Structure 1
Amino acid sequence: MMNIQSIAISFLGAALSAPLGYPPDLSKYRDFRFGDSLAVIAKLVHLKPSEAKTIHQRPALIQELTWQRTTLPQGDPVKNMVFSFYRDALYRVVITYDAERTEGLTVEDIIEAISKQYGTVTRPVAEITLTTTYLYNDGEKSISEQHEKVIARWEDARYSYNLFQPYPQSPFGMAIYEKAQQTQAEAAIVEALRLEEEEAPVRTLTRQKQKEAEERLQQGKARQANKQPFRP
């Protein structure tokens, strides 16, 4: 049986709250600091930078690195994390908590645990948008958006931590970001999507020509292999 109390206490992987008299440090989550490069974050989670997805290259480089839990200390509730980078600087992390390792915890339990590390909580009437990008072998991509109600928020002038739960009994999640970089990244993504839509007909034509060229090459090889030995 899980020790729910111990999980709540160590919920964010930090046993100690912010020192008395000092404001909470929202510039980092666990060992991950906003502004860190892809190489730094990849090393911390024992992944290779090459495992990151390049979401957009223009007008700014947008990348994502996904970490899935393999082994963690007993009671650690994090299941996976998606790190987002704008111009090779970490600006957002989306954390998903494991349902089994948070079983029995109420929303208030989780809010209490997070508040010990990140200070005063607010409960705004707000939503956050989570975007998932799927990359295909032909270079195309599809994008889906998920809008989540913010259950609780911890923030200061620069950073925002947002707790959400897609539906009752589903795993909790938290989206955290550096505000200025998030705004710049969102603007860059909007422009990237505009450029990609504008260039879509050219990409389609290029792929079609490439496919036709590959088919001609294949037919040529087959002809060369089969012509000489063919007998009626």
Structure 2
Amino acid sequence: MLRSYQGGTVAALSSTLLLSLLMPLASAGDLSRFRNFQLGSDVSTVLKQTGANPVDVKVVHRRPALVQLLEWRPQSLSSATQPEPAQDISFTFYNGELFRIFVNYDRYETEGLTASDMVETFGVKFGEALKPSTVPKPVAATYGDQEEPLARWEDADYRFELSRSSFGPTYKLLGILKRLEAPARTAALEALRLDDKEAPQREADQKIKDVEAERAKLEKARLVNKPKFKP
């Protein structure tokens, strides 16, 4: 596992927090899942595992492929001494198949943990880490934020990446089903192209709908007000 990260290991690292990180993880070297969530699962399986409502599944786009997103905030683990370290987890589906898991860890539950601590902990499940690119990646959603890659675990079918955001700082984990990564990226680009191409027609159609809605509103008011109007 990688050992060359800045900062020393916290001397009095909480064993409770380490257990909370380790307990959901399976046997070493298993890159097919995170906790009980299997990459490649269908939407109904993940809904059952999370207890989420089907209406919580959002459609990102429907064509050229159906891409759906479920955002979930897990509850605390089995006891009060084992807090839930994940603040939220996002599941992305490509044509009904789970291909992406994104975990955002609670900054307070990982406070004091160094990059080495995190890599070592995840290594219990994923095995020896591969060294990622050292170039920080900007995070578009957060002004001034930088995402620092820390470690990567990969085989022929799956990939997990651990990173740290400067905002907080917070740790993030990304899991990918590799065979669907390229199709999903291609579909997203094509969806944007189709949206841009059809935007003028959508705007024109919306204007017509708005005019018709306003006309219907005025006609309804006319039918109500005309009989009772007295000059």
Say yes or no: TM over 0.5. Answer: yes
Q: Deviations over 1:129-188 (max 9, x none)?
A: 9788xxxxxxxxxxxxx9733211111111111111120642211111011211110011
How many residues align? The count is 213
Tell me: CA distance 1:104–1:199, structure 2 relative to 1, closer, same or farther (3 Å).
same
Within 5 Å, which residues of 2 pair with 1:156-175? 156-167=155-166, 169-175=168-174
User: Where does residue 214 of structure 1 map in the other structure?
Assistant: 213
Displacement of 1:12 in angstroms is: 4.4
CA contact (8 A) 1:12 1:30 kept: no
User: Where does residue 32 of structure 2 map in the other structure?
Assistant: 27
Are 1:75 and 2:86 matched, yes or no?
no
User: Where does residue 88 of structure 1 map in the other structure?
Assistant: 96
Q: Which amino acid aligns with 2:229?
A: F
Question: Which moves more between the two structures, 36-45 or 3-12?
Answer: 3-12
Are 1:10 and 2:20 matched, yes or no?
yes
Identity of aligned residues (%): 33
For residues 26 and 93 of structure 2, what CA distance do their matches in structure 1 show? 28
Q: Deviations over 1:107-144 (max 9, x none)?
A: 11111100011001012216779788xxxxxxxxxxxx
Displacement of 1:93 in angstroms is: 0.6
For residues 122 and 83 of structure 2, what CA distance do their matches in structure 1 show? 15
Displacement of 1:102 in angstroms is: 0.9
CA contact (8 A) 2:20 2:77 kept: no
Question: Which moves more between the two structures, 59-68 or 171-180?
Answer: 171-180
Q: Which amino acid aligns with 2:189?
A: V
For residues 192 and 8 of structure 1, what CA distance do their matches in structure 2 show? 42
SS where residue 208 of structure 2 aligns? helix
Are 1:199 and 2:198 matched, yes or no?
yes
Tell me: CA distance 1:12–1:84, structure 2 relative to 1, closer, same or farther (3 Å).
farther
For residues 15 and 53 of structure 1, what CA distance do their matches in structure 2 show? 27
User: Where does residue 53 of structure 2 map in the other structure?
Assistant: 48
Displacement of 1:52 in angstroms is: 0.6
Displacement of 1:15 in angstroms is: 6.1
Structure 1 unaligned regions, length at least 5? 19-23, 133-145
Displacement of 1:13 in angstroms is: 3.3
Structure 2 unaligned regions, length at least 5? 1-11
Tell me: CA distance 1:156–1:15, structure 2 relative to 1, closer, same or farther (3 Å).
closer
Q: Deviations over 1:33-85 (max 9, x none)?
A: 11101111011000122211101101100000000134433223011101000
Displacement of 1:9 in angstroms is: 3.6
CA contact (8 A) 2:25 2:35 kept: no
For residues 127 and 93 of structure 1, what CA distance do their matches in structure 2 show? 21
For residues 139 and 168 of structure 2, what CA distance do their matches in structure 1 show? 19
CA contact (8 A) 2:152 2:162 kept: yes
Q: TM-score, normalised by structure 1?
A: 0.84
For residues 22 and 158 of structure 2, what CA distance do their matches in structure 1 show? 17
For residues 58 and 175 of structure 2, what CA distance do their matches in structure 1 show? 19
SS where residue 109 of structure 2 aligns? helix
SS where residue 157 of structure 1 aligns? coil
For residues 189 and 58 of structure 2, what CA distance do their matches in structure 1 show? 18
For residues 165 and 104 of structure 2, what CA distance do their matches in structure 1 show? 11
SS where residue 100 of structure 1 aligns? coil
Q: Which amino acid aligns with 2:182?
A: T
SS where residue 165 of structure 2 aligns? coil
Please identify which structure carries the higher strand content.
1
Q: Which amino acid aligns with 2:31?
A: L
Are 1:149 and 2:179 matched, yes or no?
no
SS where residue 132 of structure 2 aligns? coil
